[in-house]
């Protein structure tokens, strides 16, 4: 069940969340906080996947403070923020900050109108709502697709899904996170505005020069049933070395070569295509001009950020085949994996290879105060943060929510291992029954 934090005293916001969550009671658990400190404490200890921050409840809720606290430790907290503001100008101001943690910005009116639909989108795509390390990375190649309606809300939500997922699984770093976010928003917006809604470059220019809001123009266009029924299609392939994205609209296409070669030096808009081309690789259009594909390179064996409480500790560099720790050593330091790969040997046999996605080395001996259960050997060059147990325990006393997170992480890993064991036992029982194999062996 996904947790929803609601930091608000606005009855319209609160009642809207309650009413919408009743439809998805088995999937979402909302918690309401009328106080900033209580909301921050809940965020630290429970790590809610979705956070509704109400900027209209200024007398009781300091939404900017909550947002700033989330920014202080992007390793522990990222994504899933739904911001609620009073008016459209405030929404635009917040949108222009391009905060990658914010899923969507809504006025109170839009929030009440759209939250149920937004919750349905979140429910349908729960695999993208998780905290770092809590959900296992699926494998070397992942594919999927979304279908967006002609609503900028859909575009923003699906963009954040993809960007946050790649960031949380260490496939992209902070700079590439910004580039991918910008590119997806630009190309998806083009597909919506110019592809499906048939808004020409000149029409948009005139509308903006007259002080119009592009969202109002989109709403006007989608009153046409033919346009209203069109969709924007997003597909992705996340591979080992790179990720590939495809965006297709249901429009008639356009002369993309002319637009890419145009001079935008004095234009009020239209730079998005050129900007996107500079931020990603292999950006190409189909002949018709209603489909664009591009790629981003995945970072390899590296963490994109370090937990806040571990930043004071120095990073230790390891060379190829250098021993990190030996089996049966009487040490219990904890290691955070910054980069590289590390082979795990038990009884001189290779049992596993750890990468930054495993986050830690030596957590079991650290927690159990026991001897090392395995020998760890670096595979190629790498970097680790070594944290003595006493130092880390002192930090946990000052930041107890990290201890809770570590416990949740280990419990999650144990649950996954238990599920794998049960599945293997079930497969074995089915095989024995099918092949009529005896449980015992007799001469």
Q: What per-residue confidence (pLDDT) applies to 77?
A: 82
Do the beta carbons of residue 383 and residue 341 sit within 8 Å?
no
Residues with Cβ within 8 Å of 41's Cβ and at least 6 positions away in sequence, in order, are: none
Paired sense of beta strands 102-107 and 81-85, if any:
parallel
pLDDT in tens, 172-217: 988 898 899 999 999 998 999 989 998 887 888 888 888 877 878 8
Q: How confident is the model at residue 138 (pLDDT cuts 50, 70, 90)?
A: very low
The answer to whether 247 touches 256, Cβ cutoff 8 Å, is no
% of the chain beyond a pLDDT of 70: 91
Q: Which of 243-247, 261-265, 382-386 has the lowest mean pLDDT?
A: 261-265
Q: In the chain, what percentage of residues exceed pLDDT 90?
A: 34
pLDDT of residue 350 exceeding 50: yes
- Cα separation of 395 and 361, whole Å? 18
Which band of pLDDT confidence, cut at 50, 70 and 90, is reported for residue 110?
very high
Distance, C-alpha 383 to centroid of its chain: 24
CA 247 to the chain's CA centroid: 19
| Topology, domain 136-299 | Heat Shock Protein 90 (3.30.565)
Query: Fold for domain 1-121?
Result: Rossmann fold (3.40.50)
The CA-CA-CA angle for residues 433, 437, 438, to 5°, reads 115
Instruction: Read off the pLDDT of each residue in 399-408 and give the average, rounded to a whole number.
Output: 80
Sign of CA dihedral 195, 198, 203, 207: negative
Task: Say whether 361 sits in a helix, a strand or coil.
Answer: strand
Give which of 16, 74, 49, 18 is closest to 308, Cα–Cα: 74
Q: Dmax over Cα atoms in the chain, in whole Å?
A: 93
**Which among 98, 162, 156, 153 has a CA at the least distance from the CA of 129?**
162
In angstroms, the Cα distances linking 140 to 20, 129, 298, 345, 376 are 36, 20, 11, 23, 23
> 308-398, which class in CATH?
mainly beta
Residue 117 scores a pLDDT above 80: yes
CA distance 358 to 436: 40
Taking alpha carbons only, the member of 217, 216, 181 closest to residue 97 is 181
CB 130 within 8 A of CB 219: no
Q: DSSP H helical segments within 194-235, as ranges?
A: 201-209, 214-221, 225-228
Domain range annotation of the chain:
1-121, 136-299, 308-398, 404-443
> Which phi-psi region, left, alpha or beta, contains residue 436 (left: φ > 0; alpha: ψ -120 to 50)?
left
Is the pLDDT reported for residue 264 higher than 60? no
Confidence of residue 443 (pLDDT cuts 50, 70, 90): very low
Report CA 220 to chain centroid distance, whole Å: 33
Average model confidence (pLDDT) across the chain = 85
Residue 442, pLDDT above cutoff 70: no
């Amino acid at each position: 069940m996904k947790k929803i934090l609601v930091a608000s005293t606005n009855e319209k916001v609160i009642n809207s969340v309650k009413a919408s969550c009743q439809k998805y009671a088995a999937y979402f658990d909302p918690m309401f906080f009328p106080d900033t400190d209580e909301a921050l404490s809940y965020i630290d200890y429970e790590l809610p996947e979705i956070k509704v921050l109400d900027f209209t409840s200024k007398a009781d809720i300091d939404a900017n403070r909550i947002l700033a606290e989330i920014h202080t430790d992007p390793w522990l907290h990222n994504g899933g923020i739904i911001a609620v503001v009073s008016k459209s100008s405030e929404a635009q101001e917040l949108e222009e900050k391009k905060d990658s943690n914010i899923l969507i910005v809504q006025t109170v009116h839009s929030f009440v109108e759209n939250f149920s639909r937004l919750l349905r989108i979140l429910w349908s795509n729960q695999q993208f709502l998780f905290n770092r390390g809590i959900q296992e990375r699926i494998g070397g190649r992942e594919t999927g697709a979304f279908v967006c309606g002609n609503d900028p809300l859909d575009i923003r939500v699906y963009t954040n899904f993809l960007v946050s997922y790649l960031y949380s699984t260490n496939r992209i770093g902070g700079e590439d996170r910004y580039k991918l976010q910008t590119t997806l928003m630009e190309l998806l917006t083009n597909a919506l505005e110019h592809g499906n809604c048939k808004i020409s470059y000149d029409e948009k220019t005139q509308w903006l020069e007259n002080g119009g809001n592009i969202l109002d123009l989109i709403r006007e266009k989608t009153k046409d049933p033919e346009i209203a029924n069109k969709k924007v299609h997003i597909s992705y392939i996340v591979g080992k070395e790179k990720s590939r994205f495809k965006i297709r609209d249901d429009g008639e296409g356009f002369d993309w070569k002319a637009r890419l070669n145009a001079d935008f030096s004095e234009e009020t808009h239209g730079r998005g295509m050129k900007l996107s081309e500079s931020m990603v690789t292999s950006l190409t259009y189909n002949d018709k001009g209603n489909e664009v594909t591009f790629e981003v390179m995945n970072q390899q064996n590296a963490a994109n950020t370090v937990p806040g409480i571990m930043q004071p500790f120095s990073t230790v560099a390891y060379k190829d085949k250098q021993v990190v720790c030996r089996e049966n050593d009487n040490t219990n330091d904890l290691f955070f994996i910054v980069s590289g790969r590390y082979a795990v040997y038990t009884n001189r046999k290779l049992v596993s290879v750890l990468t930054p996605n495993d986050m830690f080395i030596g957590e079991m001996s650290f927690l159990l105060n026991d001897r090392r259960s395995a020998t760890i050997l670096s595979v190629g060059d790498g970097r680790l943060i070594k944290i003595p147990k006493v130092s880390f325990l002192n930090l946990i006393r000052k930041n107890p929510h990290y201890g809770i997170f570590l416990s949740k992480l280990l419990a999650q890993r144990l649950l996954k291992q238990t599920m794998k064991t049960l599945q293997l036992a079930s497969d074995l029982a089915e095989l024995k029954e099918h092949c009529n194999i005896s449980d015992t062996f007799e001469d």
